[in-house]
Structure 1
Amino acid sequence: MLNQELQSIEFYFNYHDKYAAAHLVHGWNSRFYWKNDFFIGEEAIIKKSWSSHALVVEKLTKHSLNNTVLSRKKNYKDNFLFERYVDYFESYRNKRIWLFIDRPTTIGDNAEALFRYCANREDGIEKFMIIPDETYYQNFEGVSANIIIYGSFEYKFLLMFAEKVISSTTFWEWVNIDTNIPKYEFKLIVQALSNAQEVFLQHGIIRKTSFSDWYLNSSSKNFDFMITSTEKEYELMRSEDTGFKEKQVQLTGLPRFDFLKNHAENVITFLPTWRIQYSKDDGSYDKHFKESDFFKSINEFLNDENLLELLRKNNYRFIFKIHPKFFVQIEDFDIPEEIEIVSTELSYNEIYEKSAILITDYSSAVVDFAYLKKPIIYYHSIKEEDEENPEYFSYERDGFGEICLSIESVINKVQHYIDNDCLMEEEYVKRVDSFFKYTDKNNSERVYDEILRLPIPNKNKII
């Protein structure tokens, strides 16, 4: 607790037994992000100083809050939000508010699953699920009334006072995609006013050690807590290479596994992975995509007459579940009438529930299907450019199904499974059991309990 109204912190570095003033710079994860010159802490307001090596620390009082926030609102794109922040600061700052979000454009992932598990628990915490638009309200009838639309004023206001943001994606990369001001302008406001802890639930299971080199490490991510599902994944995220501290990573399993269902129909789903090199940064159509071997291999497979005959003969539907980032290229494909294309109209959970067989190249989305112990086929016609570390994960040693290098071998394997009631072979059942730490329905409970153990911010009454 500050005993004085105003203090300063100066930064120096030692070089050959001499001290020199450090020049402070501020990057993507900094509270002083871009043009910010202040942020509101739990007990103090931290401000940039005229000196490049010092910060000013001012005790948080009603006067300092009003003076700092209201005098600076003109520098930001949402004056109304700044005003309401000051108006409701005392009544909201000590509320325990958790926000759950999967993506700005969809739900159905770990955040929704965890929200459904804990929404009505009497723990003194107000929990809110963030949805893309009003069409999703019906999904939560009988679950909770605390459903708010991404980008709405209510969303932005609650984010300023949230204790925790719980997301299946690394949240700050998605912040403000759909609000009424530009993403980077809203990030300024978030970094200045919000002290929310970030809980990262993950979207899947990490199958590449390189993922920690460029994406999941303490230099590029500033979250407070993340979960893992396998022993190897846990060890990778706890390694010195990531820089995460011991309490930041726990082995719990993914909440969405608890809600997986198995009501298989005569459905085969083809789910190729998204490959970043074939997507433009702005998400627009790429006229060169048709020239890639990746496109050609998929198009050839979908149009193989032996595959189409197998579907007709066995009365099976064939669903091509195309990744949302690839959907812009859908016009490139020659789609026979036997093939159904879906993107967002069928959720992954529905795909896992209804499909009897799943075919992929390298997609990590198959882990949910494997969790249900349903047959998987890997079609490796085009080698993935960013290869896995075979010591960490090998498709030959650790994969959940047979690897096929030709269309003919895929078709033969599909027919084999159809002839054997679409049961996962014992070899791969054993791999599933050894791969996951847990194969029960208690993943949400473990995650919820771990989040409850995180420190609660200590916020004293301001005067």
Structure 2
Amino acid sequence: MYLAEPVIYTGNLPGNVGATKIDQAYFYARDTDIFGVSFNVKRLVDALEAIGDVDRSALYLAYRLYWSVGTVKPQETGFSVASDTKAAIGLRVAPDTARLVPLIPSSSEELRLYLTRYLALYLRGMRAQKTGSVRLGHLRDLIRTFRLVELLTWVEPLQPVEAAWIRWLDAPDVNMYLYKQLSERDSYLVFEEGGVEAGAGTPLYRLQFGNDTMTIDRSYRPRELRPGYTHAASYDFYERPITPASTIIFFDRPLQADDNAEHLYQYFTATHPEFTEAYFALNPKSADWDRLARKGFKLIPIFTTEFYEKFLISDVVVSSQIYNIRYRGKSFANSRFVYLQHGIQLNDMTDWVFSKYFDVFVTTGQLEAEYMRGIAPVETLNSGLPRFEALAQEGHKPQHLLFMPTWRFNLHQASTELFERSQYFRAIEAVLTDPMLLTFLERTGRNLQVKLHPNVEKRANQFSFSKNVVKSDLSYRDAIASAELVFTDYSSAVLDAAFVGKPIAYYHWDAQEFFRDQPYEGRVDYSQDGLGPVFIEHDELIRHIVQELYAHPHEKFAQRRANFFHGVDPKSINAKIIERMLSL
């Protein structure tokens, strides 16, 4: 036996591995690296000698192609790669890689599906890496040799940019692809070879493939020029105007409200009672369900048949989260979607933002708006976040300190043991158990509220909470409104506090490594542009707290706050968003 492999997952193993359906979806989603695979070593050496210039992360695929192994029956045992980082940030190959895989034709659909996902991940990685040694000609040969265009329906739902890119590589005579339908001018992707930008659009990428240069631009064209626009069989969701009879859906996270969509929904239903079909979607198991029901929210269970049927007839969806919602031919690619954001674009999220569909992207202040207009000039709205307006109306007396650490993408699937060995856990745990801090809290009658990121909530029992250091169950609004200091590592949530004039601080214990495994790069120099002091060392942070240095006025940070939030009127945030939404 030359190949033996278990059933491979990117998350937790199911209870019955043997019952896993090995179908096209499994093949496409599976990682193409070698995990739990045993080779005939001599044969592997033979293959390496013959195909020495291929990508090492494609060794498994190269081996199977070289020896024409079209199908391998998985064993009835499971193996987890415990990470989905690659799916988000793409694949980065060695700088001297000349070929991704050998061009040995195979009719095996299993291998072709592996190759389709592998190529999509490679192109996603190139958007971040910007340069590599693989030539465009090799990519075109790969696409045509294995007929990968036939399998692009697997790529398009989650990687629409890469799907259009592969189509262009296969047929470069067509270089403009409809990407997102909009109310007036649709958004197109424009691919050009030779380093020549389209000229009439927004330049996004200039990429180097060996000696080949190519660009990707965003262009806007009148909707009348949309392919198939006059075809009766092509339903146009934009033909239905937004009226008081329209169905409108709002939602935050499936299990958690108390974010921008909740605050905007409350404002909208209060100021526009004529819209009787406005719904808020949430999981009935959420702790917020009963609370919102008591407030009179018209609730529907999210991601259920009822939800999808409402989505199909809705005229606009409004959310602080972006999910890949598709139902009976409708998606955010061809219907109205207002993205309220959960965080703020402090980091370079170009690659992530560029992969998403939205008609409106809500920003907070001039600095963020200028950055976003370089990616999506038509869709950007500088209004501020709805929860800012709600927070500005709060009048809580400061009662506690608030710590709001964000999360680490590479720990999403980590085991309990691996998580506790991580620098992330050890740094947070050191703050929670610091003797000097605990003494200060006890002496002054304060407590430290710790608001864990939703992705870390399931690990809350691993942290050492105590009498004066507690896991916060307050809403974000209440936690921030009643805090006298809010500090974080990199979470943009602290900007809510800065917006209403509260002191904030940053603790960058892993400044050298943070962006290495995140699906984005740093964009803001926190030392030069942050709205509060930045601490690298644990002792510096603790000293800042126990000596109550945060309570002293800082003109420098006050001026930075004014610059950052320029253009946002705290009294008209919701009104501005609703005006734009109803005009779509």
Report the TM-score, using the length of structure 1 for normalisation: 0.68
In 2: Cα distance, 1:397 partner to 1:194 partner: 38
Q: Pairwise mapping of residues 404-419 of structure 1 onto structure 2 (< 5 A)?
A: 404-417=535-548
Residue 363 of structure 2 aligns with which residue?
A: 228
Q: Pairwise mapping of residues 180-191 of structure 1 onto structure 2 (< 5 A)?
A: 187-189=326-328, 191=330
Matched, 1:59 2:232: yes
- Equivalenced residue count is 356
Q: Which amino acid aligns with 1:111?
A: A
In 1: Cα distance, 2:339 partner to 2:373 partner: 15
In 2: Cα distance, 1:401 partner to 1:263 partner: 22
In 1: Cα distance, 2:461 partner to 2:332 partner: 45
Mapped contact 1:205–1:229 kept (Cα < 8 A): yes
In 2: Cα distance, 1:190 partner to 1:318 partner: 49
Mapped contact 1:159–1:196 kept (Cα < 8 A): no
Mapped contact 2:383–2:569 kept (Cα < 8 A): no
Assess, with a 3 A threshold, how the Cα gap between structure 1 residues 353 and 145 changes in structure 2: closer, same or farther. closer
Q: Pairwise mapping of residues 37-436 of structure 1 onto structure 2 (< 5 A)?
A: 59=232, 95-120=245-270, 121-122=272-273, 126-133=277-284, 136-140=288-292, 144=296, 146-172=298-324, 175=325, 187-189=326-328, 191=330, 196-209=335-348, 211-213=349-351, 215-217=352-354, 220-239=355-374, 242=375, 244=376, 246-260=377-391, 261-280=394-413, 285-342=415-472, 345-383=473-511, 384-386=513-515, 392-417=523-548, 422=551, 425-436=554-565
In 2: Cα distance, 1:404 partner to 1:263 partner: 28
In 2: Cα distance, 1:411 partner to 1:148 partner: 45
Mapped contact 1:100–1:130 kept (Cα < 8 A): yes
State the Cα distance separating 1:190 from its structure 2 match: 5.7
In 2: Cα distance, 1:303 partner to 1:369 partner: 25
Assess, with a 3 A threshold, how the Cα gap between structure 1 residues 95 and 405 changes in structure 2: closer, same or farther. same
State the Cα distance separating 1:441 from its structure 2 match: 2.2
State the Cα distance separating 1:302 from its structure 2 match: 1.5
State the secondary structure of the residue aligned to 1:169.
coil
State the Cα distance separating 1:168 from its structure 2 match: 0.5
State the Cα distance separating 1:405 from its structure 2 match: 2.7
Q: Which amino acid aligns with 1:28?
A: P
Residue 445 of structure 1 aligns with which residue?
A: 575
Mapped contact 2:312–2:330 kept (Cα < 8 A): no
Mapped contact 1:358–1:376 kept (Cα < 8 A): yes
Mapped contact 1:285–1:328 kept (Cα < 8 A): no
Assess, with a 3 A threshold, how the Cα gap between structure 1 residues 304 and 426 changes in structure 2: closer, same or farther. same
In 2: Cα distance, 1:194 partner to 1:272 partner: 33
In 1: Cα distance, 2:317 partner to 2:347 partner: 26
Residues 227-267 of structure 1 deviation map (CA, whole Å, 9 limit, x = unaligned): 1112222222221xx3x3x3212211111111002413331
State the Cα distance separating 1:145 from its structure 2 match: 5.0
Report the TM-score, using the length of structure 2 for normalisation: 0.55
Mapped contact 2:300–2:307 kept (Cα < 8 A): yes
Assess, with a 3 A threshold, how the Cα gap between structure 1 residues 321 and 449 changes in structure 2: closer, same or farther. same
Identical aligned pairs, as a percentage? 25
In 2: Cα distance, 1:285 partner to 1:55 partner: 50
Mapped contact 1:169–1:202 kept (Cα < 8 A): yes
Mapped contact 2:265–2:280 kept (Cα < 8 A): yes
State the Cα distance separating 1:144 from its structure 2 match: 4.2
- What CA RMSD, in Å, does the superposition of the two structures yield over aligned residues? 3.5
Mapped contact 1:119–1:143 kept (Cα < 8 A): no
State the Cα distance separating 1:147 from its structure 2 match: 2.4
Mapped contact 2:332–2:358 kept (Cα < 8 A): no
Mapped contact 1:375–1:417 kept (Cα < 8 A): no
Mapped contact 2:366–2:565 kept (Cα < 8 A): yes
State the Cα distance separating 1:143 from its structure 2 match: 5.4
State the Cα distance separating 1:374 from its structure 2 match: 0.7
In 2: Cα distance, 1:400 partner to 1:98 partner: 36
In 2: Cα distance, 1:365 partner to 1:443 partner: 17
In 2: Cα distance, 1:194 partner to 1:249 partner: 17
Mapped contact 1:160–1:196 kept (Cα < 8 A): no
In 2: Cα distance, 1:224 partner to 1:203 partner: 16
State the Cα distance separating 1:294 from its structure 2 match: 2.0
Moved more, 265-274 or 135-144: 135-144
State the Cα distance separating 1:139 from its structure 2 match: 3.3
Structure 1 residue runs without a partner (length 5+): 1-21, 34-40, 42-53, 65-89, 176-186, 455-463
State the secondary structure of the residue aligned to 2:506.
strand
Assess, with a 3 A threshold, how the Cα gap between structure 1 residues 293 and 122 changes in structure 2: closer, same or farther. closer
State the secondary structure of the residue aligned to 1:325.
coil
Moved more, 102-111 or 124-133: 124-133
Mapped contact 1:98–1:125 kept (Cα < 8 A): no
In 2: Cα distance, 1:145 partner to 1:204 partner: 24
Q: Which amino acid aligns with 2:548?
A: Y
In 1: Cα distance, 2:514 partner to 2:390 partner: 33
